[in-house]
Structure 1
């Protein structure tokens, strides 16, 4: 057996072209460990076996302010609870937070904690919605030939199999359907009913161009094991389907399910294995937004999937106060890679009702992307995208036809998806005061939009003319 050298064995005479690595550059390997949940008053007597039980996690999830109060007790001041009550009343999304997530929040500084920001609304931070916001900003329902099945791209479709999740994100782009009705939104019903799924299966079978189906919701984590098998096997038996993606926030918010729900994990593994025998790809797409969401429990859960040959990719949403700095996004990308999750997309925050305080500018994404690219291997470098409002689909963040940093208007086209121009709007609070004032005037709003469209059109005309210039001989 070959004896591997240790650091002590390395010859001091080696010439190093790079300086020694600073310890903070290796922070991605430092995962939270130990019974961290016991810092929460209600969980002080919860042992590891109980905390790793996904059923216990689901039963004890926070859905009402009073339950939050009963759980945290006196570790945060009453004014914070009052603020949470106001946040619950004005939130378009239902609130549901797992004990696992609650245990990761820094309750000494709850207002600025990146996990609290994502999942527990507070009334004092809510800002007015952008005047151009709509409830279903991505037009998923408009592009749905049957209920809960969006066919926008040529060869790919989105299958919304149900409308519940293990945890509800404040920033959910499907607040029009996901969760229960709130004071702000009456939801579209997308219950997990097999007769509705059958309509989708029949549609898929009739469309030979469809090769790729994303199984989402809601969250595929909430599907029963037999439903995972039913949906996965039905799709794989359709000849022209080549790829299936199960989309779930679950590993980020309740990794315990991957440790203790053996039937569900076996069902997913079996569908992956069946796909492999049919030479088709079945993968899991998940959703981590901040490095603090990844703990030793997460690694244990994901190691189990890795051992079973399940490929896991990640899609993040860029959010103000959560991951809108270079340092945080670099750490997130490296930590995801460390637990064998491939960073895939980083979305500029969709235009979602009730969470204007979370949105960032397109320019913020452009700046962060420059620093993330080259920080690690290319296949572990996410693509930063804008999911174009109006159904234009995912556009590389810097591929706009025009972007005015002052008015916050960016204009995209999607020639392979659908014709027309698709406009994204930076949050008004991030603009200079004079432009914030212009956005208060409806007539000025239309003038700014028309000017942005005119510049986008003129830019496309110039680009088209340039592309027709003949090249010299030999080029």
Structure 2
């Protein structure tokens, strides 16, 4: 006999009012928040739904420093929270930038465990030392950059970075070597928004007949001006070799109001999609949600606009410890994304990024989660669990290492279609290892021995 122990009934009128709203809406994939959740934040207590649903309000009131955060939250955060945050920012590669929308979605009755706070507001009390094998640009994007702001690693695909700002700053950003303002002790790669620099990229792309697929990222394509968004899309689509373009943005997760109120931007995106359709070419949006609580009724309203305009959206999730590393949360995320017409595409192993070791999971966690998620919904709405191999090996299925030693935390991957003959190493976080192996990683000679043993096999 099969008993469904994972199902939880959707919230009803009998739901206790004392239950934090962010928890009440996490019992069913169709239960999207449509309450005025932001009114719990003192600074937004009198903000109307009409005003809150505009991108202008969100941009104007985006929080960019601890002082501003304290003015916004007041006594809502627990004692010591702001000092803990300031201490963490001094050891983080990313500056602070968070929208009112996200601040309103955080469960301030339990912020230390809240999955949204965890991603955007670091706390020194939770940070852990970086892995000794970490590199600032762990994916070696700059090594595969033939012209500034363009990474060409795969034969038929390239990554174009027209600008390096975002509507919010995720503290776990894999491109923290360049995105955002300089952090304490961190001088970042400078890539100014420049039409001249873009022309270099266009010229290179046009002269690579094997290139068919361009990802327009950053930064975040949300922060492109409407005319620039359209210019880039049209230039690429009119190249005979280009068959597909993807606009990459975190925006649908952190500021869905832009789709609803920035009509010039949404119309520009629509025109590029329609041009692609007329040329029989593919134009899609790639976005990024990590937790079911990030998907609200406002998300659904924004997606309804895109669906009506024939714009397809896929999601690339990052696997994060305490955020989505359990089967129930990851399954709910996949189903809720599907419900609002966002196709779950990838779940990435967390990149080895400075300052966020507390968020990384071992490879074994991804392997286990994939088994639980597969079969929970339709195959085309089931994400692939992948690892972007450090050193430029590209995306590898988490079940495909040449060797994986969960005791030392070393996994070895090959990438014959990207860089044949090379081996790529990923390292589990030290907190996932036993004490003896954590001590071995502190000793350079032992470190080398563990790596050599992995490569020898």
TM range (shorter): over 0.9
Tell me the equivalent position of 2:93: 92
Tell me the equivalent position of 2:408: 407
Over 3 Å counting, the alpha-carbon distance change for 1:167 and 1:19 in structure 2 is closer
Tell me the equivalent position of 2:305: 304
Tell me the equivalent position of 2:435: 433
SS in 1 for 2:29: helix
Alignment of 1:133-148 (within 5 A): 133-148=134-149
**d(CA) in 2 for partners of 1:50, 1:189:** 35
**d(CA) in 2 for partners of 1:181, 1:18:** 53
**d(CA) in 1 for partners of 2:394, 2:304:** 32
**d(CA) in 1 for partners of 2:7, 2:188:** 50
TM-score (norm 2): 0.94
Matched, 1:452 2:415: no
SS in 1 for 2:28: helix
SS in 1 for 2:304: helix
What displacement does 1:23 show?
Answer: 4.7
Can you give the 5+ residue segments of structure 2 that lack an aligned partner in the other structure? 11-26
| Contact persistence 2:367–2:399 (CA under 8 A) | yes
**d(CA) in 1 for partners of 2:240, 2:297:** 40
TM-score (norm 1): 0.91
**d(CA) in 2 for partners of 1:77, 1:384:** 36
Can you give the 5+ residue segments of structure 1 that lack an aligned partner in the other structure? 1-16, 456-475
Alignment of 1:41-440 (within 5 A): 41-419=42-420, 420-440=422-442
| Contact persistence 2:6–2:328 (CA under 8 A) | no
**d(CA) in 1 for partners of 2:316, 2:4:** 33
SS in 2 for 1:196: helix
**d(CA) in 1 for partners of 2:318, 2:264:** 30
SS in 2 for 1:165: coil
SS in 2 for 1:447: helix
**d(CA) in 2 for partners of 1:185, 1:385:** 29
What displacement does 1:190 show?
Answer: 1.7
| Contact persistence 1:91–1:184 (CA under 8 A) | no
What displacement does 1:192 show?
Answer: 1.7
What displacement does 1:50 show?
Answer: 1.1
What displacement does 1:309 show?
Answer: 0.3
What displacement does 1:191 show?
Answer: 2.0
What displacement does 1:49 show?
Answer: 1.4
Tell me the equivalent position of 1:3: none
What displacement does 1:78 show?
Answer: 2.9
What displacement does 1:22 show?
Answer: 4.6
**d(CA) in 2 for partners of 1:410, 1:446:** 14
The CA deviation string for residues 360-414 of structure 1, in whole angstroms up to 9 with x for no partner, is 0100000000000011000000000000000000000111000000000000000
**Matched positions, count:** 440
SS in 2 for 1:411: strand
What displacement does 1:21 show?
Answer: 10
Tell me the equivalent position of 1:38: 39
Where do 4+ consecutive residues of structure 1 move more than 6 Å? 17-21
**d(CA) in 2 for partners of 1:263, 1:190:** 26
**d(CA) in 1 for partners of 2:197, 2:6:** 55
SS in 1 for 2:63: coil
Over 3 Å counting, the alpha-carbon distance change for 1:42 and 1:234 in structure 2 is same
What displacement does 1:90 show?
Answer: 1.5
SS in 2 for 1:183: coil
Structure with the larger helix share: 1
